[in-house]
């Protein structure tokens, strides 16, 4: 009985205390630390092995690589935390309803990750990224005729979308590397999509 109790205690020490001492940060990530006494610490932990206070500090990993935000029919709309969205339905300047698919390449500013975690939380995609991309795509589509978006001025639409997203995301610690439109299809007027629940 005493021997099995010793094994349980040893297991507790190894699992909870020793593993709680270290934070392993893999390449392409940084870690933010939440301290029970001081809140989210301003210093980010770069790749490598770091020490923390067990039970008192909690670490969270954040990806600092280029993130692919894919707007596609393949996206699972039930996955609200997922990095992407379903096609965005918008109306052009000449009154045509279109469905826009593409990719937005984003990257988190390493120096602002503690502020993102503190002020927005780790669900920043659902709170900031998705609604902003939907809104800006619709706004920019409304400035162009259908034919311009589909072929003639497609590159101008991509650049304008990138600039508009950058204006909103940059102060929040998110870089916009590129906007790439892949498919733009006309949607029939009979098909009504709840645009806020897309």
93-133 confidence digits (pLDDT tens): 988 999 999 999 999 999 999 999 998 888 888 889 999 99
Q: Are residues 59 and 79 in the same domain?
A: no
pLDDT by residue (tens digit) across 134-173?
999 999 999 988 888 887 788 888 999 999 999 999 999 9
* Residue 13, Cβ density class (10 Å: 0-12 exposed, 13-18 middle, ≥19 buried): exposed
Q: How far apart are CA 28 and CA 111, in angstroms?
A: 14
In this structure, the answer to whether residues 47 and 92 fall within a common structural domain is no
Is the confidence at residue 41, as pLDDT, over 50? yes
Shared domain check, 113 and 154: yes
CA distances from 189 to 1, 165, 184 (A): 74, 28, 16
The burial of 60, by beta-carbon neighbours within 10 Å (0-12 exposed, 13-18 middle, 19 or more buried), is given as: middle
Same domain, 50 and 73: no
User: What mean pLDDT do residues 85-91 have?
Assistant: 91
Are residues 29 and 62 in contact, defined by beta-carbon separation less than 8 angstroms? yes
Q: Are residues 49 and 145 in the same domain?
A: no
Domain count along the chain: 2
Is the same domain home to 169 and 84? yes
Give the domain CATH number at 147.
Answer: 3.30.479.30
Q: Is the Cα dihedral 149, 152, 158, 160 positive or negative?
A: negative
Q: Do 79 and 38 fall within a single domain?
A: no
**Is it the case that residue 82 has pLDDT exceeding 90?**
no
H or E element at residue 176: strand 174-186
Question: Interior CA angle at 23 toward 46 and 55, to 5°?
Answer: 135
**Hey, how many other C-beta atoms are within 10 angstroms of the C-beta on 184?**
20
pLDDT band at 63 (very low <50, low <70, confident <90, very high): very high
Residue 152's SS3 state is: helix
Does residue 120 sit in the same domain as residue 172?
Answer: yes
Tell which of 63, 80, 105 closes a domain.
63
Distance of alpha carbon 71 from alpha carbon 115, whole angstroms:
27
Q: How many CB atoms lie within 10 A of CB 177?
A: 13
Q: What DSSP character marks residue 93?
A: T
Tell me the CB-side half-sphere exposure of residue 33, using CA atoms within 13 A.
24
Model pLDDT, residue 6: 54
Q: What pLDDT does residue 80 have?
A: 65
- Are 41 and 76 contained in the same domain? no
Both 89 and 157 in a single domain?
yes
Indicate if 147 and 74 belong to the same structural domain.
yes
Closest by CA to 95, choosing from 2, 193, 18, 187, is: 187
Residues 49, 74, single domain; the answer is no
The mean pLDDT value of the chain amounts to: 84
Range of the domain at 31: 2-63
């Amino acid at each position: 009985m005493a021997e099995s109790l010793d094994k349980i205690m040893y297991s507790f020490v190894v699992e909870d205390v020793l593993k709680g001492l270290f934070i392993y940060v893999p390449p392409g990530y940084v870690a933010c630390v939440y301290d029970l006494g001081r809140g989210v610490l301003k210093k980010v932990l770069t790749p490598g092995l770091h020490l923390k206070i067990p039970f008192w500090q909690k670490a969270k990993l954040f990806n600092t690589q280029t993130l692919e935000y894919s707007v596609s029919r393949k996206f699972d709309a039930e996955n609200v935390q997922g990095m992407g969205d379903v096609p965005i339905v918008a109306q052009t300047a000449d009154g045509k309803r279109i469905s826009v698919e593409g990719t937005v390449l984003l990257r988190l500013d390493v120096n602002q990750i503690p502020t993102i975690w503190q002020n927005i939380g780790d669900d920043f995609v659902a709170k900031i990224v998705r609604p902003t991309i939907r809104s800006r795509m619709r706004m920019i589509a409304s400035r162009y005729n259908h034919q311009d978006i589909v072929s003639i001025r497609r590159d101008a639409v991509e650049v304008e979308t990138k600039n508009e997203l950058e204006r909103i995301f940059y102060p929040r610690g998110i870089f916009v590397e590129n906007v790439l439109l892949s498919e733009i299809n006309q949607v029939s007027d009979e098909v009504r999509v709840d645009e806020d629940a897309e």
